[in-house]
Amino acid sequence: MSQFLAPQIVLLKHGTDTSQGKGHLISNINACNAVVDLVRTTLGPRGLDKLIHEGRGKVTITNDGATIVQLLQIVHPAAKTLVDISMSQDAEVGDGTTSVILLAGEMMNKCKEFIEDGVHSQVLIRAFRKAGQLADARIREVARDIMGTNPTERREMLMRCAGTSLNSKLVSHQREFFAGIVTDAVLTLDADSLDVSMVGIKKVHGGSTTDSQLVTGVAFKKTFSYAGFEQQPKSFDHPKVMLLNLELELKAEKDNAEVRVNSTADYQAIVDAEWGIIYAKLAACVNTGAKVVLSRLAIGDVATQYFADRDIFCAGRVAEEDMRRVQRAVGGSVQTTVNHLKDGGADILGECGRFEERQLGKERYNVFTGCPKAKSATIIVRGGSDQFLEESERSLHDAIMIVRRAIKHPTAVPGGGAIEMDLSRHIRAAAVKIEGKDQLIMSAYARALEVIPRTLCDNAGFDSTEVLNKLRAAHASADGNHCYGVDLDSASVVDTWAKAVWEPAVVKLNALAAATEAACQILAVDETIKNPKSEQPGVPGPPGGGGRGGGMGGMMNRGGRGVRRMR
């Protein structure tokens, strides 16, 4: 009978793990829900922070969804999809990183009962994309223009968007103060590009949070300086600025080459040549008329004293990011040699309205203001601890991105879960007009959107069922007001637009699109194939593994050592 048996076909490498079917799909959804549970409690003004200890004493305290999932280093292949959409949300609009994870996880969670009942994944995907299109169109319909009729009104509306973003951050108790700083910083930039890289955030220990300030220019911390630095002037009006990428230090050639001399005169000639090289470089810099000299590399003690004697300010070892911002702000170009400086033309030297060195706390900062080439701003953040300053920086970055997006796309929607409840009602109303399975699936999509107001209530300690019932009643009322959201002050509902709780429409558009696509992507996966690790030839693999030299290619002796099988 054995001659009639079909031969065994080995298709994949030994040790390859395959998982497929309904159980595998539900397992992927459960893995995504585990990520959702990690960040769920961080949503909203009453959200809690996560303390992440990375080892070696590094501790991060944050409630930013993208930062949390990035630091956790999630390795599950399906759950990494949520990490990717959170990072893309952070890169695209800067805020809503937690919301997009919650929405995607809840959408997949609503699909579990349909999958268990045998509904095909493609049916779910088609219905979800149809519901996503309805949500996109509804957001664009109800979004309101916030451009304003004059600069004052425009600034006030942008401040409200920034304040909504900061409302859930660590600096929420000073959100109006920081909203003004962030809005002014973004409005300082060139209106055409709005390049956020021209907004620097510097952290200074000590002082109160309200001691933070905005510098309309470029500022960076005083660099390491040699003797003679204090003799240099610390302020100039309309100075020329030279940017270098070379060392201005005395170099002893005997350190780089072997030099043989026959007399003391020969040795003295070598020493004189070394001094002549450095003095020639310094003289070339002085002859350009520059009053501020910055270099990416070191400026030694000889050069520091040389510049001080000629009333020139210098700073060496300037950080690359700061050097790039200064170059874009004051103009000129970074020089790698002094051989062709000549008279220091406009293509070589930059210029600013004023340069000065300021004392901020215990630190000293070099400040360039009145920069003609490109508009720039620097936010000086004050605080008591490293964790507070780092979280403040992340919070301000989110607010900066929100204001920038609001300027580029000047439409906003009510926050506090109001827009999600309106979308839920709108999709339900559209679903009842559709026949077949799509009606139930689209209704499930609509219920998934309620996760935002429900989580806001849960994190604030409210009865989410009671508040959601009030929200449903308010949105279904005859007046048709779609602006009712969660009032976290009274555990009730409120017109969030009238309360100035706004979110840029682009944040919700991007979050819903990313969440819908992530859910459809997970639903479209019916099998996961995990290949074994590739081992180096001749290196024993793990016991029972499939690597070369281990598993099938090796065996265990009594002593427990891997012995390569002779072929």
Residue 463 neighbours by CB distance under 10 Å: 11
Q: Is the predicted pLDDT of residue 556 greater than 60, yes or no?
A: no
| In a domain? residue 477 | yes
In angstroms, rounded to a whole number, what is the distance separating the alpha carbons of residues 499 and 80?
37
**Is the same domain home to 204 and 121?**
no
**Is the same domain home to 405 and 370?**
no
- What pLDDT does residue 531 have? 67
| In a domain? residue 34 | yes
Answer yes or no: are the C-beta atoms of 25 and 120 closer than 8 Å. no
Q: What is the pLDDT of residues 490-527, one digit of tens each?
A: 888 999 988 888 888 999 999 999 999 999 999 988 87
- What pLDDT does residue 13 have? 57
The three-class DSSP label of residue 315 is strand
The three-class DSSP label of residue 535 is coil
**Is the same domain home to 139 and 157?**
no
**Is the same domain home to 222 and 124?**
no
Distances (CA, A) of 529 to 19, 20, 79, 80, 196: 7, 9, 15, 16, 42
CATH of the domain at 185: 3.30.260.10
What's the whole-number mean pLDDT along residues 468-492? 85
Q: Is the predicted pLDDT of residue 14 greater than 70, yes or no?
A: no
Q: What is the pLDDT of residues 115-139, one digit of tens each?
A: 988 899 999 999 999 999 999 999 9
- What pLDDT does residue 7 have? 57
Our count of domains for the chain comes to 3
**Is the same domain home to 519 and 392?**
no
| In a domain? residue 281 | yes
Alpha helices in 310-385 (DSSP H): 320-330
Expressed in angstroms, the distance from the first to the final Cα of the chain is 32
**Is the same domain home to 252 and 385?**
no
Could you list the residue range(s) of the whole structural domain that residue 188 is in?
A: 151-216+381-409
| In a domain? residue 386 | yes
Distances (CA, A) of 411 to 93, 195, 249, 435, 507: 14, 20, 55, 35, 10
Answer yes or no: are the C-beta atoms of 293 and 213 closer than 8 Å. no
- Judged on CB neighbours under 10 Å (0-12, 13-18, 19+), 90 is buried
Maximum average pLDDT range among 123-132, 217-226, 346-355: 123-132
Our measurement of the distance from residue 159's CA atom to the centroid of its chain's CA atoms, rounded to an integer in Å, reads: 21
Q: How confident is the model at residue 154 (pLDDT cuts 50, 70, 90)?
A: confident
Between 542 and 7, the higher pLDDT residue: 7
Token pair for 326: 């200064």
In angstroms, rounded to a whole number, what is the distance separating the alpha carbons of residues 218 and 376?
6
**Is the same domain home to 352 and 428?**
no
CATH of the domain at 350: 3.50.7.10
| In a domain? residue 175 | yes
**Is the same domain home to 474 and 399?**
no
Residue 191 neighbours by CB distance under 10 Å: 8
Q: How confident is the model at residue 540 (pLDDT cuts 50, 70, 90)?
A: very low
Q: Is the predicted pLDDT of residue 543 greater than 60, yes or no?
A: no
Helix axes 264-287, 301-309, angle to 10 degrees: 50
| In a domain? residue 537 | no
**pTM, full prediction:** 0.78
**Using alpha carbons only, what angle is made at residue 545 by residues 540 and 549, rounded to the nearest 5 degrees?**
25
Q: How confident is the model at residue 546 (pLDDT cuts 50, 70, 90)?
A: very low
Q: What is the pLDDT of residues 247-301, one digit of tens each?
A: 888 775 556 667 777 778 877 787 777 788 888 888 988 988 899 999 999 898 8
